């Protein structure tokens, strides 16, 4: 009996880089004692910009070529022919590929943004004065996830049973060839988290 086993396994894990640095600021402003008809203003402006680009390219490839052939069984030119038997020929192929992409930690950039803890005050303004306190925060986040996953499994199997021949015998015996079989198993798992 011939048996040709082949087992291929591939496991790939990619974890995105997270941005967790805190982006925060606190501004304080105070104006005290202005004259009549004055214009007083306390203003804070903050802009936060975050850009995350996850570009993942993963490839798993398996090429398998197998041949199995049983021998020839002949019983001939005998007064009393006996038995002739050949063994079995088998092909086995198994591919297991697991690809994991995890970019979820990139979302940490979102948690680090937010409004400022600003404060401002204007005290003791004169008559007919105009006073304003303003705080403005702008958060801009851009996340680009580009995931390209390839798994290729090429399997070429050939199994051939040999010939069985009984000829030119006074009393012929048995001629038996073995079985020829092919087995292929493919298990592919994609797990993508953005």
Q: Where are the domains of the chain?
A: 2-14+58-113+145-193
pLDDT digits (tens, 9 = 90+) for 41-55: 988 888 888 888 888
Q: According to the model, what pLDDT value does residue 185 have?
A: 85
Mean pLDDT, range 153-162, rounded to an integer: 84
List Cα–Cα distances, 164 to 97, 115, 173, 177, in angstroms. Answer: 41, 86, 11, 6
pLDDT digits (tens, 9 = 90+) for 77-103: 877 777 778 878 888 888 888 888 888
Q: Say how far apart CA 182 and CA 74 lie, in whole Å.
A: 25
In terms of pLDDT, which residue wins out, 26 or 174?
174
Q: What is the pTM of this model?
A: 0.53
| DSSP per residue, 53-81 | EEEEEEEEEEEEEEEEE---EEEES-SB-
Q: According to the model, what pLDDT value does residue 4 have?
A: 45
- H-run or E-run covering 109: helix 108-111
Which one of 66-70, 144-148, 174-178 scores highest in mean pLDDT? Answer: 144-148
Q: Say how far apart CA 44 and CA 41 lie, in whole Å.
A: 10
pLDDT value at 165 more than 60: yes
pLDDT digits (tens, 9 = 90+) for 24-40: 556 788 888 888 999 98
Q: Mean pLDDT in the chain?
A: 77
pLDDT value at 191 more than 80: yes
pLDDT value at 151 more than 60: yes
Q: Look at the chain and count its residues.
A: 194
pLDDT band at 14 (very low <50, low <70, confident <90, very high): very low
Mean pLDDT, range 50-69, rounded to an integer: 85
CA 86, 87, 88, 94 torsion-angle sign: negative
Mean pLDDT, range 183-190, rounded to an integer: 83
pLDDT value at 6 more than 80: no
Q: Say how far apart CA 60 and CA 188 lie, in whole Å.
A: 10
């Amino acid at each position: 009996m011939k048996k040709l086993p082949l087992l291929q396994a591939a496991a790939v894990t990619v974890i995105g880089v997270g941005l967790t640095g805190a982006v925060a600021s606190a501004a304080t402003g105070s104006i005290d004692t202005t004259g009549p008809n004055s214009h007083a203003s306390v203003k804070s402006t903050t802009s936060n910009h975050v850009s995350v680009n996850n570009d993942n390219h993963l490839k798993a490839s398996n090429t398998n070529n197998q041949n199995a052939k049983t021998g020839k069984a002949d019983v001939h030119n005998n007064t009393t022919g006996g038995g002739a038997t050949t063994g079995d020929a088998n092909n086995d192929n198994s591919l297991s590929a697991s690809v994991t992409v995890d970019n979820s930690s990139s979302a940490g950039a979102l948690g680090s943004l937010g409004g400022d803890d600003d404060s401002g005050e204007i005290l003791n303004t004169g008559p007919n004065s105009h006073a304003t306190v303003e705080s403005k925060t702008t958060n801009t986040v851009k996340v680009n996830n580009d995931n390209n996953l390839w798994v290729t499994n090429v399997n070429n199997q050939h199994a051939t049973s040999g010939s069985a021949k009984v000829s030119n015998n006074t009393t012929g015996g048995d001629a038996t060839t073995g079985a020829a079989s092919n087995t292929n198993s493919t298990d592919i798992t994609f797990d993508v988290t953005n």
